[in-house]
Each structure stands twice: as structure tokens, then as C-alpha cells.
Amino acid sequence: AAKDAGRGVYRFYADAMHNQASERKAIEDALRDALARDELTLLYQPIVDVKREHVTGFEALIRWRREGGEMISPSKFIPIAEESNLIIPIGEWIIRTACATIARLGPGYRVAVNVSPRQFANEKLPATILNAVAAAGIAPGQLELEITEGVFLDESPETLEMFQKLKRTGVRLALDDFGTGYSALGYLKKAPFDKIKIDQSFVLGAADKSSMNAAIISSIVGLASALDMETTAEGVETHDDLALVRALGCSHVQGYIYGRPMAIEAVLALLREGGGRVVARGFKSAREP
Ligand code: C2E
Ligand code: MG
Ligand code: MG
Ligand code: MG
């Protein structure tokens, strides 16, 4: 009986693994069609200069609405796109779409796009960027690339070379989710970042937790200002957190307090009505479309 039970357990895990693998395969196949079928969209979340309470730009965040209306989170499909190399054509689409959006926003605003490690390792990336920037007729400095510490796992000379090549295109570089991954402290000196984005795990609820998060945020801000980089605090939801990150010297804030990721039409309306001025409202205010 024990042997039967053991077999049952084995069978259970084997089935679970099989189901997981076939779910990934199904997502991969559907994702391949999604691009062509226009099922992918970018939403844009405001990034706010805290001193001036003025929008300086937006982060483009990808959304996938499958036919039938089901929304799939990027945390679920981006890793699959990474593994299957679909991230290369999808990444190109993201860059071209973001540049077209920048052209619609006008010269005063920037848009940041997330660049995954595999995209970063692709030697065609600088050319893709230059083409997209030229096609949209925008200034390269209006496009910002968000890169995570994951790219530093590959400690090859090509990694640092890619940073230099990207810098030479004139785009801005931001280090995303700082503090969560592989420590990039040594690379901060060598890689020409314009901005550090402080991960939301240090920011969300920082005001009511121990002073540990405040100490971490404060030291990142110190590091960034010594290196002449901006800082964006991610995931600011409450007035208390906003007051804290402002007091600690973060230059920019991104979070539900100022706005959720929104469709391009809503972005244009926001800029038309407020001229880029925004008010901290709290995270319950607006929902994602
Ligand atoms: P990320 O780049 O760190 O993006 C920030 C995430 O935090 C977004 O989640 C955003 O909706 C969420 N967020 C912003 N403000 C708040 C807040 O106040 N509270 C809370 N709780 N969350 C907030 P999202 O859009 O689900 O994206 C998750 C991750 O998926 C992104 O993290 C990024 O790593 C990846 N991702 C999203 N879009 C793209 C893309 O176009 N390309 C690539 N390669 N990755 C993407
Ligand atoms: Mg990001
Ligand atoms: Mg982030
Ligand atoms: Mg994140």
C-alpha cells in the first residue's frame, strides 16, 4: 500500500509538471499570435517630480488582453517571452510604440520602457532604438530604458560595451528594482545610469514599518546623488509614504498615489487638463482600464 501511495504521489507531481509545461507552451503559442492580432497594448504610469508636483514622464507597462477579455499579467508572460526569445520582436514593438507615444506627448516628456536581460544582450538593440527614434522624429533623450540588476549576472565585457553603445545613442538609462537582485554596486561606477529606481518592496508602507526601510531608501538616495543620478521611489500609495520619500530626498515618485497605469487617451487628457501638474490622491482613486 505504501508503494502504491508513493506511486500516486509521483504521478501527482509528474502530472503537475506536465500541466505546467503545457500551460507555458500554450501561452507561448498564443503570445506569438498576440502581436499580430493587436492584443498587446502599453499603458502609461505617471512619474512625478516630487518638488514641483509635475509629471516628467511615464513608464510604459505592457498588457495582454486575450480574445474573450482575459487579462494576463506581464509577470506571467514576460518570463515566457524571455525563454522563448519572443521578447525580441515584442521588445521591438514596445520600443517603436513608446517612441510613437513620445511624439504625441510633445517635447517636454519622457517615456521609459522595460528592457529584459535577453533584449539587452541582443546586439541589434542600439540599431533598433536609433531606427525607432528616427522614425518617430523624437529626441533620443526622451526615451529611457529601464534595466534590472539581472543584466549584471552576465559579467562579460559585452555587458559593459552594450551600456556604452546605448549611452552613445543618446537614450537615458535607469537601473530598475534597485536593491532586490544581484548587487550592482561595483557596476554603478562603470555603467552610465541616469537614474536609480528604488524597488517598491522598500517603499510600500515604508512610513509605518520599522526605520529599516527609511535607512535603506536614504542610503540609496545618498549613493545616487553622489553619482549624480536621479532617484524614483516606486510603489508610493499613501500620503505618509509620499511624505517620507520626499523627506528622504527622492527626486521622483511613481505610484498609485499619483496615478495607475493608464491608456494613451487618458494620458493625453491628463496633460491637456492639468498641463502636467498632478495632485496626490491616494491609491483608491483611479482603476486601471
Ligand atoms: P516594474 O518595471 O518594476 O514595474 C512597476 C510595477 O509596479 C508595475 O506592475 C506597476 O503597475 C506596479 N505599480 C506601480 N505603482 C504601484 C503602487 O503604487 N502599488 C503597487 N502595489 N504596485 C504599483 P506591472 O505593470 O504588473 O509590471 C510588473 C513587471 O513586469 C514590471 O515591473 C516589469 O518588470 C515587467 N514588465 C511590465 N511591462 C513590461 C514590458 O513592456 N517589457 C518588459 N520586458 N517587462 C515588463
Ligand atoms: Mg520598470
Ligand atoms: Mg521597477
Ligand atoms: Mg518591480
- Per-residue pLDDT of 26-70, as tens digits, reads 889 999 999 889 899 999 999 999 999 999 999 999 999 988 888
Our separate counts of H helices and E strands in the chain read 11, 9
Q: How far apart are CA 115 and CA 274, in angstroms?
A: 30
Whether 225 lines ligand 1, by a CB cut-off of 6 Å, is: no
* Helices of type H across 85-156: 87-105, 117-120, 125-136
Q: How many CA atoms lie within 13 A of 55 on its CB side?
A: 31
**Mind listing the pLDDT tens digit for each residue in 187-229?**
888 889 999 999 999 998 877 766 789 999 999 999 999 999 9
Looking at residue 13, its pLDDT comes to: 67
Distance 129 CA to ligand 3 centre (A): 21
Question: CB-based contacts of 93: which residues, under 8 Å, 6+ apart?
Answer: 35, 40
Question: By C-alpha distance, which of 126, 128, 102 is closest to 42?
Answer: 102
Whether 199 lines ligand 1, by a CB cut-off of 6 Å, is: no
Question: By C-alpha distance, which of 110, 109, 50 is closest to 272?
Answer: 109
Mean pLDDT of the 227-244 span: 95
Answer yes or no: are the C-beta atoms of 115 and 147 closer than 8 Å.
yes
* Residue written as grid cell 544582450: 121
More confidently predicted of 7 and 114: 114
DSSP symbol at 181: S
- φ, ψ for residue 176, nearest 5 deg: -90, 155
* Residue written as grid cell 520582436: 89
The protein residue whose alpha carbon is closest to atom 33 in ligand 1 is: 114
Whether 94 lines ligand 1, by a CB cut-off of 6 Å, is: yes
Q: What angle do CA 251, 252, 258 make, to 5 degrees?
A: 145
Distance 201 CA to ligand 4 centre (A): 8
Whether 80 lines ligand 1, by a CB cut-off of 6 Å, is: no
Return the SS3 of 52.
Answer: coil
Distance 100 CA to ligand 3 centre (A): 23
Q: How far apart are CA 239 and CA 67, in angstroms?
A: 38
Q: What angle do CA 26, 30, 34 make, to 5 degrees?
A: 165
Indicate the pairing of strand 54-65 with strand 252-254.
unpaired
Distance 234 CA to ligand 1 centre (A): 9
Distance 56 CA to ligand 1 centre (A): 18
Question: CB-based contacts of 56: which residues, under 8 Å, 6+ apart?
Answer: 47, 48, 49, 109, 110, 252
Q: What is the mean pLDDT of the chain?
A: 90
DSSP symbol at 276: T
ipTM of this complex: 0.98
Mean pLDDT of the 146-168 span: 90
pTM of the model: 0.92
**Mind listing the pLDDT tens digit for each residue in 177-189?**
998 877 667 788 8
pLDDT of residue 140 exceeding 70: yes
**Mind listing the pLDDT tens digit for each residue in 64-81?**
998 888 888 999 999 999
Whether 256 lines ligand 1, by a CB cut-off of 6 Å, is: yes
Q: How far apart are CA 120 and CA 37, in angstroms?
A: 26
Cell of 157: 565585457
Question: Ligand 1 pocket: which of 95, 114, 177 to mutate (most atoms <8 Å of CB)?
Answer: 114
Question: By C-alpha distance, which of 102, 87, 85 is closest to 141?
Answer: 102
